[in-house]
Structure 1
Amino acid sequence: MKTYIQILFILLALGFATSCNEALELEYDGRTSLDELFKTRNGVRGYLNSCYGARIMPDINRATLTDESQSSDMLFQGSHAALWYVDAFNASNYSNVDGQPWGSIYQAIRRCNIFLNRIEGVTANELASLEEELSSWRAQAHTLRALYYLQLMKRYGSVPLITEPYEINHDFSKDLRAPVSAVVKQILDDCDAAMSEPVSTLGFSWTVRTGENFIMNRAVVQAIRSQAILYAASPLYADGTYTWQDAAEITGNALSNLLVNDYKLWTEEPENNSAQNLYELYFITPHDEQRARDKETIYPGNRVNIWGNHGMPSTPGQTTAGACPTQELVDCYEMQATGMLPISGYSDQQHLQPIINTASGYDPNNPYEGRDPRFYATIYFNGAVRDLGPSGGLARDDHYPLSISLAGGSHNIDATELEEEGAFRLETTGGDPNIPTTPLTQDINATTGSILLKFKYKSNNNITNAQFFFAAPNPAGGESTPENVVLNKATEWTDFELDLTPYRNNSWWKWGKPGHYLRFDVGADAGNIVEIKDIEINVRVESVPADPCESFVGGVDGISNTNRRATFTGYYLRKYNNWKSGRDNDADGEIRMFRLAEMYLNFAEAAYQATGNPETAINIGNGITMSARDAVNAIRRRVGMPDIPAGLSKDEFEKRYRNERRVELAYEGHRYFDVRRWKIMEQSERYVTGMRITKNDDGSFNYERIGFERESYKEKMYFYPIPQSEIDKMFTHTGMDWQNPGWN
């Protein structure tokens, strides 16, 4: 029987795929058979693109389901956060920050299975393709299937293992949930299959080619291997099949493979007040797919909007405080001078009575001084500097070059290019002389601030009646300055500047889009000779006042439990937030799915668990030896933190390691899964706190911890429920209840 696939299904999948791969070039005919689809290069590649559609990217809001954050949306009883905190979900209405991904992931796995089945035996010649390309496609499909099973396992635990396309007469009564160890074996097998494909420029390599952003590559395979085996050996998932020794070997091998293939921790320091430190700079810098600058990112994620969705109410355009950092997270940031935790624990269950570590150098009356640099890059606290620019500086200073157009359109002007000087000579030959510039190539996006026209010129005469016309090609039209622009006689290069801001808007049209241009009316008469160069539009936005965050009661960003735009905990999220971001300049960063720092930490955890000694060096391959302590200290040294001291016991090191992982990977989606795989959710999730700060008349502050109690710590929350509709179907087919514990 011929198998058919709706072409619409592929086109929907290509909504993401065209951003990272070629579009499927098939005529729409309603139905296209897979037999026909897999006879052409575009058909095969288009179907592979459709396999990418279920990747689950990290989400800031997952932090609100952990002890990293308390959501300001809890104010609304029907919000996701409010329902989560009171344990109001069941198998029928359950939703996480990624929805209920069971169905979408299995649909993507089905596509991967079909692709791998169909591509078997297809030759490059048949597709008018190259063997390296075909090899890469096979590897990508294996990598995607491995990623999908990893994402399923993390959320649901034991899941059905499907690696072949279902036949039309498939017997569902024999389907079973495979144990986690079997799922992990399949993940590792798929990773091995991907890595078995040869490395080549056009094939499955360690990076991606230009225009192939988000494509799977060999580095992603290493990240999947590392995370999968770490989870398999962790208490929640371990069944004895995979040991910590296995985890140490695989995570170490993955790390060494990345290191010898030019993956490195980010070490670029900020310049020109772009960020407070290198850690902050990394998270506001978009990844570059060719890795010329960013060699830490293994697989990118989505850009985030912090200033608007997790920002401060004093920021124009902000809508909600969103993921408000907890006091527990703040307590995890060590003192930089001593490398010690300021708080060693709590004397009460609710975390309202901290045990201060006096040896650390922590001052409870000045609690935010001298902390780990990552603290300042992650959290806005009371008194935190918001504007990093100098007083009176610019939040935006962008330059858009233009040139004189010699391609026609001039009137009564003889124009020639003076190549040696990079200039143009304009000689007027009659009345109303004018000439256009080349068009803008990008949107100047200048809804606020000033717009300046700048260039350098020489002139043989005083011209007092020049004019500039701001033109749009379609529809024709625009707006012009009055005929009173002055260019004084100048025999040397002279700077010219004209404020275009008053002409930015009128009732029917806005200038500054791609294709828009300027027309230069060079006086009104013949006989003028003007040389002109370095033409540009300069958009300048003054920086916001350098006022600090005021999260104290009554401050402009003051704590509140009745306003979702205000923090509930006394803190706001800073990680990913570019201080220049705002309504008119969204420049916030992106969450990475995988990065090298996680690979160091994965190995560190597996190594100390396997050896019992954090200082035992292990040969991780490629001529590299490393201990658990070495791996953690590599992360700490990068940000200027002291080494974790030698001589710690396994238990002492575990406490320091878990804290390091929490700090380094904050708001990257790991904490949710870490507290589950370690089986500490009951300790971490039940109580979280914030800091209520009041300001005294003398300018000093009082600090009072406030608490929030949740019901989301219960044992059933270790795993997502399988959708009830799927449970009902499989009970009909198999007679077995597939539901995860506690969700019936």
Structure 2
Amino acid sequence: MMRTRTVNTAISAMIFFAGMLSCTKIPEYSDGRVSLDEVFSSYRKTAGYLNLCYTKIQPQGGFYAGNSFLASFSDEAAHVSEINNSVHRQWWQGLLTPFYNPVETNTSSNTNWWAGHFEGIRYCNVFLANIDTAMVAGESIRQGYKAQARLLRAFYYLQLIKRYGGVPVYTAPLPVDYDYSSEQRPPFSAVAQFIIDECNDVLENVPNEAMGWIQGDTDFQRGMFYKAVAAAMKSQAALFAASPLWNDGTITWQDAARYTKEALDRCLENGFKLYDAAPGTTDGYDAFDIYFRTRADVNRVRDRETIYEVNRQLNIYSYNGLPFTDGIVSSGDNPVQELIDAFETIDGKPILDLTRPYLDANHLQPNYNSENTLYNPAAPFENRDPRLRASFYHHGARFDLRNASSFVWMHAGGNAAISENDLRHTRTGYYLRKFGNFTSSRTGNNDGYFKLYRLAELYLNFAEAANEAAAGGLAPGDAVDALNIVRARAGMPAIEAGIDKETFRLRIRNERRVELAYEEHRFFDVRRWKILDETDRVVTGMRPIAEPDGTFTYERFVIDHSRAAVTDKYLIFPLPGNEVAKLQELTGSNWQNPGW
């Protein structure tokens, strides 16, 4: 007789959220399928089920629609495929609905933030419900497995609330006859506090021999969660919960300053530091440059900055390439002028007035910073923050550093000229360099891997939270110091102590824009700050024009599309419409986000 075990495959609201409204029988079959009883009575299968918990980490980095970055759904970039009415254009046309999300439209990567993350939570809860009696090789391994599953569950919840707001938190599979009629939607802060508490418990109470501060010593351990990931998630959850979009007084800026400082300090105490390896002169410009195309070493001997790296190599040369790159499919996520304008000059002064960067609605009239004497509109790429040349190709930039005559030219007739009808050419006058390697081509990919969490973010998280928590009119010294550590690695001058809190807020936001460009922060930053309508309405490019005497002039121009996804309702994604209907029927309440 075939033995079966009935297992509830959904937890609380996930029964609706993932569309799983019934229990599932998991029998043993001759083709290899097994019951949960058998899974957790085997060392190997217990470990295999933990691996299953990792499988719902959704695409990050350059793996959205058309192998693009989230940057093209923010004010960082304009994707070249918009000329063909791509999902990026649909996003900016305001076609997001409770039944269609253009950002998730990527059949090759199967992006599904809602159902995918809830499925991951379900896997974690099933694992945690069984691990205490599961067959493992030792108690230390059991503790480590439990800690990984808890952090994965916290990670999935963090991804959900960043996009949708508060969702019910459940820490165990629920009975089939669970009564959902009294369910209420919790606030963002409640879920954020759950994430912080889970991370704190792992950080403080899980022995280092069960879960340490590095992933391990072998490539087999790549992609595993470990204590530094807990610190990074704690920092980010606290920062978001205290930010204007989500701040309900439960997690204050003072709380966020404490949490982010604790997370940063724990990482520093355990050997993390900003990447500072100097490259050879023909390999890269500086440490910041080569960091993003250098794969992290698992044991953190060489790279002590990366906290979590997506274990999938990017294809910058192909999907964010230049027209002359062998193997190019698309120029991809073309950086916009507004992002380029954020890079200061080498004396540490912004080129624009950060309180009002542009004098007109179309951003064609820059409001230049009167204190900046180094910026020259006739030579706009000279004397700029070194992170500019490391992150993006501009007109006249070096391409192959091994070749003294290898340059990128964007003017009409140049080898990378602006075009409005060729997917291989930029629409904005810029190309992505960050994560890419000029040696990559169809014969060999040497591009980098996406850094989901890294130490620089923790410095910037703390700087922001500490500044906002300050009671006086001046920015706190430790907040300024944290920001300056990030700037120093980039070769940028320190911001002097005594800066006022309001001005420092603008400098922090600009620093995040520059340091964390294309790293999936800007999309969420402008939302949690509630400035989406100020930042994303229009983006521009820069056209170099060759003059008869061999010099160039530069002309700003508006990218030819309308950005409608900027009103307050776009601060938060809508919950899927079919799930909201089920929730309304079962609870009598409307769970949909405002405006949808």
Which of 90, 97, 104 is 1:90 aligned to? 97
Residues 398 and 408 in structure 2, CA contact (< 8 A), matched pair in contact too: yes
Compare 354-363 and 227-236 and name the one that shifted more.
354-363
1:238 aligns with 2:251: no
**1:198, distance to aligned residue in structure 2 (A):** 3.4
Which of 673, 693, 709 is 2:524 aligned to? 673
Residues 317 and 441 in structure 2, CA contact (< 8 A), matched pair in contact too: yes
Q: Distance in 1 between matches of 2:58 and 2:460?
A: 22
Q: Secondary structure at the match of 2:451?
A: coil
1:599 aligns with 2:458: yes
Residues 241 and 247 in structure 2, CA contact (< 8 A), matched pair in contact too: yes
Q: Distance in 1 between matches of 2:29 and 2:137?
A: 20
Q: Distance in 1 between matches of 2:222 and 2:186?
A: 33
Give RMSD over aligned pairs. Answer: 1.9
Q: Secondary structure at the match of 1:584?
A: coil
Q: 1:141 to 1:291 in 2, by over 3 A?
A: same
Q: Secondary structure at the match of 2:449?
A: coil
**1:185, distance to aligned residue in structure 2 (A):** 1.7
Q: Distance in 2 between matches of 1:364 and 1:196?
A: 53
Q: Distance in 1 between matches of 2:193 and 2:140?
A: 27
Residues 132 and 200 in structure 1, CA contact (< 8 A), matched pair in contact too: no
Query: 2:221 is matched by which residue type in structure 1?
Result: E
**1:436-485 deviation line (CA, Å, top 9, x unaligned):** xxxxxxxxxxxxxxxxxxxxxxxxxxxxxxxxxxxxxxxxxxxxxxxxxx
Which of 313, 331, 342 is 2:351 aligned to? 342
Which of 402, 407, 420 is 1:389 aligned to? 402
Query: 1:195 is matched by which residue type in structure 2?
Result: L
Question: Which residue of the partner structure matches residue 730 of structure 1?
Answer: 583
Residues 195 and 221 in structure 1, CA contact (< 8 A), matched pair in contact too: yes
1:700 aligns with 2:559: no
1:2 aligns with 2:5: yes
Which of 40, 59, 65 is 2:61 aligned to? 59
Q: Distance in 2 between matches of 1:355 and 1:128?
A: 64
Q: Secondary structure at the match of 1:172?
A: coil
Query: 1:329 is matched by which residue type in structure 2?
Result: L
Query: 1:198 is matched by which residue type in structure 2?
Result: V
Query: 1:564 is matched by which residue type in structure 2?
Result: L
Q: How high is the TM-score relative to the length of structure 1?
A: 0.72
Q: Distance in 1 between matches of 2:309 and 2:435?
A: 14
- 1:201-600 matches, within 5 Å, as 201=209, 203-209=210-216, 210=218, 211-301=220-310, 302-336=312-346, 338-344=347-353, 345-360=357-372, 361-390=374-403, 546-600=405-459
**1:315-372 deviation line (CA, Å, top 9, x unaligned):** 2221111100010011010000x21111222111111101223532111100000100
Structure (1 or 2) with the greater strand fraction: 1
Residues 63 and 669 in structure 1, CA contact (< 8 A), matched pair in contact too: yes
Q: Secondary structure at the match of 2:251?
A: coil
Q: Distance in 1 between matches of 2:206 and 2:587?
A: 42
Residues 475 and 498 in structure 2, CA contact (< 8 A), matched pair in contact too: no
1:34 aligns with 2:36: yes
Query: 1:560 is matched by which residue type in structure 2?
Result: S
Question: Which residue of the partner structure matches residue 103 of structure 1?
Answer: 115
Consecutive unaligned residues in structure 1, runs of 5 or more: 7-25, 392-545, 618-625
Residues 299 and 595 in structure 1, CA contact (< 8 A), matched pair in contact too: yes
Which of 685, 690, 693 is 2:536 aligned to? 685
Q: 1:664 to 1:613 in 2, by over 3 A?
A: farther
Residues 569 and 690 in structure 1, CA contact (< 8 A), matched pair in contact too: yes
**1:578, distance to aligned residue in structure 2 (A):** 0.8
**1:187-207 deviation line (CA, Å, top 9, x unaligned):** 122213323443344x11111
Q: Distance in 1 between matches of 2:97 and 2:136?
A: 52
Q: Distance in 2 between matches of 1:128 and 1:646?
A: 54
Question: Which residue of the partner structure matches residue 185 of structure 1?
Answer: 193
Q: Distance in 1 between matches of 2:32 and 2:183?
A: 33
Question: Which residue of the partner structure matches residue 13 of structure 2?
Answer: none
Query: 1:216 is matched by which residue type in structure 2?
Result: F
Q: Secondary structure at the match of 2:313?
A: coil
Query: 1:734 is matched by which residue type in structure 2?
Result: T
Residues 8 and 174 in structure 2, CA contact (< 8 A), matched pair in contact too: no
Q: Distance in 1 between matches of 2:286 and 2:501?
A: 32
The aligned length equals 555
Q: Secondary structure at the match of 1:335?
A: coil
Q: Secondary structure at the match of 1:366?
A: coil
Question: Which residue of the partner structure matches residue 70 of structure 1?
Answer: 78
Residues 612 and 650 in structure 1, CA contact (< 8 A), matched pair in contact too: no
Q: 1:613 to 1:547 in 2, by over 3 A?
A: farther
Q: 1:285 to 1:615 in 2, by over 3 A?
A: farther
Query: 1:112 is matched by which residue type in structure 2?
Result: C
**1:57, distance to aligned residue in structure 2 (A):** 4.6
Question: Which residue of the partner structure matches residue 66 of structure 2?
Answer: none
Question: Which residue of the partner structure matches residue 149 of structure 1?
Answer: 157
Query: 2:482 is matched by which residue type in structure 1?
Result: A
